[in-house]
Amino acid sequence: MTRLILMRHAKSSWKYDLSDHERPLNKRGRKAAAKIAKELIRLEWIPDKLYSSDSTRTKETWARMNKFIDGVDVEYLHKLYHSSPKKIRKNLPDNLDYETVMILGHNPGCTDFLSDLCGEWYRMPTAATALLTIKNPNKSWKIKGNWNLEELILPREL
């Protein structure tokens, strides 16, 4: 793996009396997910593999994006639901035989993981999407500071 897309789920609704895990996207979130998908296509950053939390809002985020991006090998993992950077590393394979991998998750895990990967703090609001390239592909992708942030896409700026 030489490229990583790290995305926080799109904006979710608090309208319904549901558990946190079951909360759906709201209208703004549905629009944001589509905008991000179109931007990834424009930038030619299409994932080969997606690892996503199994929450309703992460699944819906990908479902909206999948209307524009297809052919992605998708894996939903409960262990990515509200994961810390340590748990993200632990629950994903050491060797990822894909050029571009996408991780779709939650905060504070996404913000903290991005900061670990780059060695610098970045804010990740809902649907924020970080595009990263590996500094040294001969080292593990899990090593802190082994990634360059190429772009941080925010849906409100699209």
Residue-by-residue pLDDT tens, the chain, 158 positions: 899 999 999 999 988 788 999 999 999 999 999 999 999 999 999 999 999 999 999 999 999 999 999 999 999 999 999 999 999 999 999 888 899 999 999 999 999 999 999 999 999 999 999 999 999 999 999 999 999 999 999 999 99
The pTM is what? Answer: 0.96
Q: Give dist(CA 122, CA 129) in Å, integer.
A: 11
Q: Give dist(CA 15, CA 148) in Å, integer.
A: 38
Does domain 3-157 correspond to CATH entry 3.40.50.1370? Answer: no
Q: Give dist(CA 128, CA 115) in Å, integer.
A: 14
Instruction: Characterize the bridge pairing of strands 100-105 and 49-53.
Output: parallel
Q: Give dist(CA 6, CA 133) in Å, integer.
A: 11
Q: Give dist(CA 132, CA 135) in Å, integer.
A: 9
Q: Would you list the domain boundaries of the chain?
A: 3-157
